[in-house]
Amino acid sequence: MLSSETIRIIKSTVPVLEKHGTDITTRFYQLLFTNHPELLNIFNHANQSKGKQQTALANAVYAAALHIDKLEMILPVVKQIAHKHRSLGIRAEHYPIVGENLLAAIKDVLGDMATEEIMQAWAEAYGVIANAFIGVEAELYQQSEKQKGGWAGFRAFRVDKKVKESDVITSFYLVPQDREAIASFKPGQYISVKLEIPGESNTHIRQYSLSDTPGKPYYRISVKREDAILDKPTGKVSAYLHKHIDQEHILWLSVPSGEFTLDEHDSRPIVFISGGVGLTPLVSMLKTLAETNPNRAITFIHAAQNGSVHALKQEVEELASCSPQISAYWCYGKPTNLDREMNAYDKEGIIDLPWLQQVISTKEASFYFCGPVPFMRTVNSLLKKWKINANDIHYEFFGPSGSLEDAQGSELEVPIS
């Protein structure tokens, strides 16, 4: 429990963190990887190179300081991050390392402003916050290992089938090499894939949403190929999966994880809105509902550049053709001539509120959306303009989470390693 004096000191640093937060976290990662290069086997190098991780961590530190007297307010954020940490294999012994380098970064960046009093207060506060993460993650580790079909760490899976879903998205059907049972999952969850790429000095871990229903003898991930830009590591893992991983190859997976899950007890209409590869967790939710709750009204909306990059379209259309409760709509930003000839889409351009109000039968529904961050900001803004209840809005970030609010917004931002 933090003393009132420690809380006061932490609160007093909020304006400083708002101004220097990203500088502090950038310095933190420099120190962390210099002092402990082995941690490069856990962290996403692409997110580091693009500055996403630094920004996400800065926002998390800022949020922790802002709510240091009411840490229960950030408990949902803690749980979301803890799922990522469990999936990556971050353990209790990593937290003292992180704390030491974070405090050193604060001191380096703030210089004389980082008085002994401030540093002591932050050391105490970090200890409390770290213990919250350690406690939640310990429970998640126990659950993942003890559940039926569960396991510890990473388990070998064989690629049973590789299916090209579009020009940029390929599905991998993964079965356990040991042929034993596999853990179930909740629609919307993801797995971590650990790869050793020839010529790379470190292993790479990426999270991919499960795109099929639970209860199958396999896991399916549908991966978009993100081509590298210049010498940045963006797309290194997805490109390797597309080009070099084929049937019978082995991938190492963590137990399914994640907080972005379907509330299957809600009987109201549900709306799924996806952009690009963001449809993967929503397809899992859609297919599950079609099996378990066929009477629930579902609207599935997907935005893509055109038909050539639109994955899993046939699966969704087959479900919609078999059920009057499911409606599917496609919005293409730049449809091809073939798309026009085939009448393959419902709207050209971008998703806007008048069109949403036209295709969605009621606003008294649960809304789930996922896709690129600019797309999600647009959808979030449209739903708020429509005055959709905030409790009915659910979304998932791929990679380090950001805010869907503008600079004046108050929404907490969630870091993902």
Q: What are phi and psi of 127, to 5 degrees?
A: -60, -40
Q: Is 383 annotated as a binding residue?
A: no
Q: Is 398 annotated as a binding residue?
A: yes
Q: Is 86 annotated as a binding residue?
A: no
Q: Is 333 annotated as a binding residue?
A: no
CA 60 from chain centre, in angstroms, equals 15
Q: Is 95 a catalytic residue?
A: yes
Q: Is 207 annotated as a binding residue?
A: yes
Catalytic one among 29, 95, 173, 329? 95
Q: Is 278 annotated as a binding residue?
A: yes
Q: Is 29 a catalytic residue?
A: no
Q: Is 126 annotated as a binding residue?
A: no
Query: What whole-number distance in Å separates Cα of residue 208 and Cα of residue 281?
Result: 9
Q: Is 276 annotated as a binding residue?
A: yes
Q: Is 397 annotated as a binding residue?
A: yes
Query: Position of tokens 């390929």?
Result: 170
Q: Is 185 annotated as a binding residue?
A: no
Catalytic one among 29, 62, 126, 137? 137
Q: What are phi and psi of 327, to 5 degrees?
A: -120, 135
Q: Is 240 annotated as a binding residue?
A: no
Cα angle 45-134-28, degrees, rounded to a multiple of 5: 40
Tokens describing residue 293? 């709750």
Q: Is 372 annotated as a binding residue?
A: no
Dihedral-angle region of residue 299 (phi above 0 means left; psi in -120 to 50 means alpha; beta otherwise): beta
Sign of the Cα torsion 45, 51, 73, 404 reads: negative
Burial of 31-62, coded b for 16+ CB within 10 Å and e otherwise, reads bbbeeeeebbebbbbbbbebebbbbbbbbbbb
- Residues flagged as binding site for heme b: 85
- Residues flagged as binding site for NADP(+): 276-281
- Residues flagged as binding site for FAD: 190, 206-209, 397-400
Catalytic residue IDs: 95, 137
- Residues flagged as binding site: 85, 190, 206-209, 276-281, 397-400
